[in-house]
Structure 1
């Protein structure tokens, strides 16, 4: 890769005594893993900028399977994430790092990710709306875009007052059963628009994205979610 490309750091791991192994989310190449030689040394000019939530321009190269970071320049200061917003950002980064295959372009998702970070950074309220929109977008880009506007059984448009039960790999089917897999037609239309006008709809969206995304975890829970419950949640009680 000879040219410069916009990206964000998703995850870092120590590699040898002075280097780093980094997952990047790039504008044109999707998720890539690069070796940053000497990035942990005291003299490295990369040490300060290879941080999550810092918009960067990077270039890389190499002939082997493991490519090497050749340069990195910050486009701006890191987004000001603290407290709940910080853990929300880490949550988004962890999802991308865990579910996106390497070297597959996700250009639209890249800008949706950027929008999510900007909303989180500027939000004076709960980050829930931004997170739900991102999760629904991620499901769509993973090839799991469930049709929220039509009953999977009849093909008819969903009706606001009717109840639809989610069935994996099928979609939403009209049902008289009310349980954790059930949603109203009104809620499904809100999911399709990625708008959450009230608390009940927002909670329903969270319930659905948890159901739909959890199979991607393979039984290994998100570390960012565990940290939130351990560090942030006790402080709010």
Structure 2
């Protein structure tokens, strides 16, 4: 089967590592092809056109060749262009972006497109590069929810997972890694009311899913954070996410 050329593909670089003295292997998140591994030959040379472009959290347009039936693990990168629009995030925003990249690397299968998730990620990258203020936490929590839902790891948020019974609006429930949504106890670190969980479920089902989800997440972002982090780590497995460990180490200084 002849090689297929992909051109003008919206993408972000999730991670890169050395392949040889002059080349890089890239993990890219693309809108139409999903997560793909690419080899950028000569990208480390000072004269390479790739060198200033292949950066994380920057919107790109890529061209690459998919050989034969597309089952090859790594595809040759033919072109990369920076789309522009924002600068590189710094500080906590940069760490947050690298954290999202690590989640995508661990949870997304290769060659499995998620266009809505890609569009949400592009929006998050813009927020991270801006004077985001109080918007950062809701944006991160909404993306975590969307990611879990896209890969089939998020239970229904309007039902108790074990019984499939409807949530009582005023009762408190917590999301746990192995059991889904259950009634909260005094030992639980965080919880939401049944009405709040129901609002999150409705927001996910709205036509403008990410925008609606962001509005629903904003009032409960602090309570959601430990519950989603535990669920994500459970599905990512061991070891602890590197970016999470780095954040913990920095906070301990």
Q: TM-score, normalised by structure 1?
A: 0.87
1:79 aligns with 2:83: no
Moved more, 77-86 or 214-223: 77-86
Question: For the Cα contact (< 8 Å) 1:8–1:52, is it kept in 2?
Answer: yes
- Which structure 1 residue ranges, 5 or more long, are not aligned? none
Aligned to 1:209: 228
Aligned to 1:56: 60
Counterpart CA distance in 1 for 2:12 and 2:25 is 14
1:96 aligns with 2:115: no
Tell me: CA distance 1:167–1:86, structure 2 relative to 1, closer, same or farther (3 Å).
closer
Moved more, 145-154 or 205-214: 145-154
Aligned to 1:179: 187
Aligned to 1:119: 127
1:6 aligns with 2:10: yes
The alpha carbon displacement at 1:190 in A equals 4.7
Tell me: CA distance 1:230–1:181, structure 2 relative to 1, closer, same or farther (3 Å).
closer
Counterpart CA distance in 2 for 1:234 and 1:182 is 22
The alpha carbon displacement at 1:65 in A equals 3.7
The alpha carbon displacement at 1:227 in A equals 2.2
Tell me: CA distance 1:82–1:166, structure 2 relative to 1, closer, same or farther (3 Å).
closer
Counterpart CA distance in 2 for 1:6 and 1:186 is 38
1:45 aligns with 2:54: no
Counterpart CA distance in 1 for 2:48 and 2:118 is 28
The alpha carbon displacement at 1:170 in A equals 5.4
Question: For the Cα contact (< 8 Å) 1:13–1:21, is it kept in 2?
Answer: yes
1:164 aligns with 2:183: no
1:141 aligns with 2:150: yes
The alpha carbon displacement at 1:219 in A equals 1.3
Tell me: CA distance 1:180–1:110, structure 2 relative to 1, closer, same or farther (3 Å).
same
Counterpart CA distance in 2 for 1:34 and 1:197 is 37
Pick aligned residue for 2:239 from 214, 220, 234:
220
1:131 aligns with 2:135: no
Q: CA RMSD in A?
A: 2.3
Counterpart CA distance in 2 for 1:146 and 1:95 is 18
Question: For the Cα contact (< 8 Å) 2:11–2:29, is it kept in 1?
Answer: yes
